[in-house]
Chains A and B, each alone.
Chain A
Amino acid sequence: MVLFTIAEPGQGRARQVIKRKRAAGIDLGTTNSLIAIAKDGKAEVIADVHGQRLLPSVVQYRAGGSRTVGIDAMSPLPGATIISSSKRLLGRGLADIQHQLPYVLQDAAKGGMVNIDTATGPVSPVQVAADILQALVERATTQAGGELDGVVITVPAYFDEPQRQATRAAARIAGLNVLRLLNEPTAAAVAYGLDQQLQGTIVIYDLGGGTFDVSLMRLHKGVFEVLAIGGDSALGGDDIDRAIADWMQKSSGSSGMPVEDYRQLLQQARAAKHALTTVTTTTVRIGAWQAEFTRSTLHELMDSYIETTLKACRRVLRDAGLAAADVTDVVLVGGSTRTPRVQQKVQEFFGRAPLCSINPDEVVALGAALQADVLVGNKYGDAALLLDVMPLSLGVETMGGLMEKIIPRNSTIPVSRAQEFTTYKDGQTAMSFSVFQGERELVSDCRSLAHFELRGIPPMVAGAARIKVSFQVDADGLLEVQAEEMTSGIKSSTVVKPSFGLVEHDILDMIKASIESAAADKALRTLRERQVEAQRHIESLKAALQQDGESLLSVDEKHKLEQVMQELTVAAAGADAVLIERLTETLNNQSRDFAGRRMDAGIKTALAGRRLDALGEKP
């Protein structure tokens, strides 16, 4: 029995039962997509009317404009076009796509996203994603009752800005309110963290149909902190299917298949791969040709792909300064982790049995549903707070075109760092700042993000001004760079979106290149530093010669200095760091006497000044 208290006027009426908001988590996968809904901290995947939980990310477009999504779309009708694995095309240009696809692409307007040739005309990958989303939402409304107030859609950790925008656009077309895009491995961590109160340092190994992500996360008191991320956005079960299909083509001696036959070959390859999860050999055939496909052949075909994933694991551990032994748990995500070979290799690498207690196909959607429930306002217990990381270092260009990193790669955001710089020339009143992103030592190998100037620096001798450059990245990944001259307080700043325009394989390439070219970069950096140093000496000697060269040096002495200076100028334009250093040293030694005389002359002038003053007092 409920008991009442007397409320203030007007407030008793305001009491209403608050309607529970409905939010779903969507795993928009390369091969399969899922939708899940959470209630009171428990998430559940929503099945379709036939009880199917996975929706194949396949859309069939027919002449006349009709379309089907999912399993029904997989059986080809004459004249129809079947689109699969189109997630890889989201936010991509034709130049980004190198692998063979079972359908034809058209390049869109300059710099735009590709379109896919279909029976209904060109279709954008965004439209394909929207069709898949719509099919998922239909499940949620018909099977789990009612409209959705919002969704959380998961994306690979390496998805860049255009790819994330394309995902959001697809959701908009499908009429969905996107609460947040969540990284897939993070969603998996949410699912495990909240369901099982897992604590410690965990690795999320996510090998899906088309993408591989590895995330190193720390779970502590319900807070997930991403320590490091890595992976390969163009590696997954599809590659293994393709490797099997290619092996079949090669073994059978057939080549140059029509698109439709190749698509069927891929399906057969996938079926064979799945069969080998439970049996040790299976039969494959192309036309009249047939052969035994064994586990050991499969292992030969897929081991190089697994090795690539383990390399990424190694890199992520190194980034976080951890060893495999520090990892308390490994979580397997993605259908490809069902393959016994993958589980075996991962176990060998981390020295522990990986976790797979939650269905690896569903774990991401379940985590997303839990986050969606929190974000839409249905709080249960402690809401999880997620921290993100910067994928690449941020810095400014310094003299000589060098990259001075201010915020290192994999820093958790929000983050704020500052560093002091100074002027290069006497009386310098302005400084220009170029903001770069990348791992290389020279800015020419990094990506330029922004450019701004700081003007009105009070004239001072070179090196006397103190300019504080601060970098601040907020929770949305927005970077603000500010430069402030500390003695005068003058300021200048700019705001940039660091991830904008970076295609994720660029990020990977940039990181890879920085490792491969570390030694060469270091040598280049040394050279540039010597060049800048030499230039600085030449500049100051030139200024001194202009001022006192005639009065303090003999013609011969002046000529000698100018000769060394000339030699150094030539050397500084070259690439011999040792020669530049030697000549800089020579110039230094030979001008020491001149510098001494200048100092004496300065003192004499000062003393003479005083004598004049003293004289001046007499009359």
Chain B
Amino acid sequence: MAILLTENAAKHVASQMAARGKGVGIRVGVTTTGCSGMAYVLEFVDELNTEDKVFANHGINVIVDPKSLLYLDGTEMDFVKTGLNEGFEFHNPNVKGECGCGESFTV
């Protein structure tokens, strides 16, 4: 069971964490919403919950709750630039279908 960060993604998370000035890592999760069933959650973490799993990647703690981990196991998070946009992207091997915009997915 693991969640992966690319080196590039870790670099950007680190710089954003430094700019924010606090936090123990980033949370990656899923929530049931969107047009295709589930959507990703990506946020900073200040406090860990007791049931959280923590994965260290290039010095960054990636925190996942056990329920989300079922849907996210093996996911690699990357940082990409496309045209004028830049941001994080998920490569999730569990996904069977995505909605047109990629914001939500089904497993």
Contacts and interface: CB of A to CB of B under 8 A. Distances in A.
Interface of A: 1-13, 15-17
B6 interface: no
B102 A17 contact: no
> Which of A10, A13, A16: most chain B Cβ within 10 A?
A13
26 contacts: A1-B89, A2-B101, A2-B103, A3-B85, A3-B89, A4-B42, A4-B87, A4-B90, A5-B42, A6-B13, A6-B43, A6-B44, A7-B44, A9-B27, A9-B44, A9-B45, A9-B46, A10-B43, A11-B43, A12-B27, A12-B41, A12-B43, A15-B33, A16-B33, A17-B33, A17-B35
B82 A3 contact: yes
B31 interface: yes
A52 B42 CA distance: 50
Interface residues of B, number: 29
Contacts of B26: 6
A8 B45 CA distance: 8
Nearest to B43: A12
B51 interface: no
Main secondary structure of the interface of A (DSSP, over half): loop
A12 B33 contact: no
Contacts of A16: 33
B34 A17 contact: yes
A16 to B, nearest CB: 5
Contact of B16 (A1, A6, A9, A12): A6
B40 A4 contact: yes
> Which of B46, B80, B103: most chain A Cβ within 10 A?
B103
Contacts of B33: 15-17
A9 B20 CA distance: 12
> Which of B13, B44, B47: most chain A Cβ within 10 A?
B44
Contact of A9 (B43, B88, B89, B90): B43
A151 to B, nearest CB: 27
A483 B27 CA distance: 64
B39 interface: yes
A362 B101 CA distance: 37
A406 B40 CA distance: 63
A16 B34 CA distance: 7
A8 B41 CA distance: 11
A8 B33 CA distance: 19
A226 B46 CA distance: 56
B46 A6 contact: no
Given A9-B46, A15-B39, A4 B31 contact: no
A10 B29 CA distance: 11
Interface string B67-107: 00000000000001010011111100000000001110000
B44 A5 contact: no
Contacts of A6: 13, 16, 26, 42-44, 88
